[in-house]
Amino acid sequence: MNVLMVAAEAAPFVKVGGLGDVVGSLPKALKKLGHDVRVVVPHYAQIDAGRYGLSPLSRIWVPTSAGPRPVDVFMAESSGVPFYFIWDEHFFGRNRVYGYYDDPTRFAFFGLAALWLIKTLDWRLDIVHSHDWHTGVVPTWMAGIGWLDPTFAKAATVFTIHNIAYQGHGGSGLLDYVGLRGLVEPQLYEEPPGIINWMARGIYHAHAVNAVSPRFAWEITTPEGGAGLDGLLRSKGDRLVGILNGMDTEVWNPATDPNLAVNFDVETLEKRIENKRALQDELRLPVRDDVPLIANVGRLSAQKGLDILIPTLERLMQGDAQAVILGSGDPYYEEMLSHLARRHPTKMAVSLEFSGRLASRIYAGSDIFVMPSLWEPCGLSQMIAMRYGSVPLVRRVGGLADTVQNYDPVGQTGTGFVFDDYTPAALWGTLEWALSVYRSALLAPRPQEGEAGNPWRGLQIRGMRVDFSWEKSARQYQALYEKALSLK
C-alpha cells in the first residue's frame, strides 16, 4: 500500500514526546512489510538540517482564505523512508514546537500544506494516516474535498490518538481558512458554539481510529477517560481499536548500547551488576550490590504520578534503599525532589537535565523502575526498563496495564508489579512487596528462570524476553489500513 503519514513530530528530526518516537519508527517497520510509506512533518527552526541531510525539494503554494501562501519543501531519508518537511517562517520559525496561541491555525495550515504537497508528487494514495489533534484537519479535508481529487479519491483515512487531553481548540473561522466552510459539518456536538476541536474532527471524519494501547482505547470511551469525547469515541464502534506502540529494539539494546559501562543480554545477565556499580559511583551514591536501587525516568508532571511518588520516596528514604530520578518538568516537583535528595545525599540522586546517556545507564543499573502514572496512553519507559533488566512497578492504567504482567509468586509468572488505587498507600504497599521479593533473592543462589529459589532473576529474564519490537505493531496497523479501506 501507498501510505502517507502526517504528524507534528518524527524522531530523530524533532521529538517532544512519544509521538515523535512512533512516527520515527512505525514507517520503517511498515516499509519492511513492503509498503511505500512517506512522512510529512513541519520544518521547525530547531531541526538541524545539516546534521540530518535535509535538501530543498520544491516550493508550493497552499490555498487559504487569505490567499495562496508559499511554503518551501525539504526532504531527507531515514532508513530508506522519505521524510518531507514543510517550511513556513511565520508558523514554524519559532523557538518551540508547541505552546503558541495560534497552534490550531499553525497545524491546520501544516495539514493542508502536507496534502497539497502530495498533489505535486504524482503519487496515488491508499492510506492517509494522521496523528493527534495537530493533523485533525487532514481527515476533515479528505471528507470534505479529497474524495473529489484523483490523488486522494481511493484513499481511506486513519487517525491515531496519542494523547486525548490535548484537543486543539480554535475559532470556527478555521474552516474558512482551509476552504471547508459548507463542505463539512459546521458544528459537532462536542464543539462549543464558535469553536473548532481538531481532535474531535479527526476522530469524526476518519474511516478508522486507533489509540496507542488496547487499554487506553477502552479508557477513552468512558466519561472518566474520554476528556469530553467519550460519546464520539463510543459511536465509532469497531472502527476504534487499540494498537500497542512498539519500541526501537536496535536503539534500546543492552547488548550494544554504547552508553553502558558493560554490555549484557539475557544470556549474560550476571554482567548487569557492573552497570549498577557504575551508576552508583557516577551519582555519588555508596557502591553496594545489596541495596535496592529504585528509579524513575520521565517528565515531572502530575500525569506521571508525582503526587504519590514523592511521599513514597520520602518513606523509602527512612530505610535501606537508594533512589535516582531523571527528568524535568513542573518546577514544584523539581524542587520537592531536589529538596529530598539534599536531605538524603547518600540515598538519593536527582538530575533535572535530561540526558540520553544517563537514561540508558539508569535503565541498566536500577533494580526497580517505578511508573505510578495517573494516566498513560502507552508508555515507553517501562518497555525499555524490562529490556534492560530493571523490574517495572506500575499502576494499572493505559499501556502500562497492557505491557506489564503482575507477578504471581505461586506460578512464578509475570514481569513486574502492578497496583490499582492512585494513593501513596497503594504504591507503598506494592513497593514493599517488590522489595521483599528483591531481598529474598539476595539469599538465593543463581538458578535459571523459573526456579523458586530466585524469583527476582525470573522476573528480569521474563521481562527481557518480551517482544516489544515494532514488527508486531506494524502488522496490526497493516490490518487497520485494510479495514479502513473496506469501510470507505
pLDDT at 17 (0 to 100): 85
Listed residue (244, 361, 374) closest to 299, CA to CA: 374
The partner residues of 420 in beta bridges, in order of sequence, read none
Name the amino acid, one letter, at 265.
D
pLDDT for position 453: 64
Kindly report the backbone phi and psi dihedral angles of residue 225, in degrees, each rounded to the nearest multiple of 5, phi listed first: -115, -5
**8-state DSSP, 234:** H
Q: How far apart are CA 275 and CA 290, in angstroms?
A: 14
Inform me whether the pLDDT recorded for 449 exceeds 70. Answer: no
pLDDT in tens, 384-426: 999 999 999 999 999 999 999 999 999 999 999 999 999 999 9
Burial of 64 (0-12, 13-18, 19+ CB in 10 A): middle
Asked if residue 447 has pLDDT above 70, the reply is: no
Task: Give mean pLDDT, residues 37-50.
Answer: 97
Q: What is the mean pLDDT of the chain?
A: 95
pLDDT higher than threshold 80 for residue 337? yes
Domains parsed from the chain with CATH numbers: 2-246+471-487 (3.40.50.2000), 266-467 (3.40.50.2000)
What's the N-to-C CA distance of the chain in angstroms? 15
Question: Using one digit for the tens of pLDDT, what is the confidence trace for 363-372?
Answer: 999 999 999 9
| Residue 445, pLDDT score | 60
How many helices (H) and strands (E) would you count in the chain?
18, 17
Q: What is the DSSP string of 350-382?
A: EE-S--HHHHHHHHHH-SEEEE--S--SS-SHH
Which residues, 6 or more positions from 336, have their beta carbon under 8 angstroms from its beta carbon? 306, 310
For residues 455 and 436, the answer to whether their CB atoms sit within 8 Å is: no
Helix (H, G, I), strand (E, B) or coil at 300: strand
CA-to-CA distance for 250 and 341, rounded, in angstroms? 34
Give the CA distances from residue 452 to residues 115, 411, 457, in Å, rounded to whole numbers and listed in that order: 58, 9, 10
Q: Which whole number is the average pLDDT over 329-356?
A: 96
For 225-238, what is the mean pLDDT? 97
Amino acid 446: pLDDT = 57
The DSSP call for residue 220 is T
- Write the CB contacts of 224 (distance below 8 Å, at least 6 apart in sequence): none
Task: For the chain, state the CA radius of gyration.
Answer: 24
Query: Does 455 sit behind a cis peptide bond, omega within 30 degrees of 0 on the bond before it?
Result: no
Mean pLDDT of 335-353: 97
Average pLDDT over residues 4-13: 97
Cα separations (Å) of 399 from 203, 214, 225, 422, 436? 20, 7, 14, 16, 26
Q: Please report the pLDDT score of residue 111 as a whole number.
A: 98
pLDDT of residue 279: 99
* Segment 152-187, tens digit of pLDDT: 999 999 999 999 999 999 999 999 999 999 999 999
The DSSP bridge partners found for residue 325 are 296, 350
Percent of the chain with pLDDT over 70: 98
CB 41 within 8 A of CB 83: yes
Q: Contact at 8 Å (CB) between 364 and 387?
A: no
SS3 218: helix
Which is nearest to 51 in space by CA: 15, 76, 18?
76
Question: From CA 430, how far away is CA 416, in angstroms rounded?
Answer: 10
In 3D, which of 261, 284, 152 has the Cα closest to residue 207? 152
Residue 452 has pLDDT above 80, yes or no: no
The stretch 76-89 carries a mean pLDDT of: 97
The 3-state DSSP class for residue 213 equals: coil
57 falls in which pLDDT band (50, 70, 90)? very high
> Could you give the maximum distance between any two Cα atoms of the chain, in Å?
74
Average pLDDT over residues 204-229: 98
User: For the chain, what percent of residues have pLDDT higher than 90?
Assistant: 91
Instruction: Please give the torsion angle defined by the CA atoms of residues 257, 258, 260 and 261, in that order, rounded to the nearest 10 degrees.
Output: 140
**C-alpha distances out from residue 235 to 189, 196, 217, 332, Å:** 12, 19, 13, 40
Nine cell digits for residue 379? 508508555
| Length of the chain (residues) | 488
pLDDT of residue 122: 85
What is the reported pLDDT for 115? 97
pLDDT at 450: 47
For 30, which DSSP code?
Answer: H
Model pLDDT, residue 354: 85
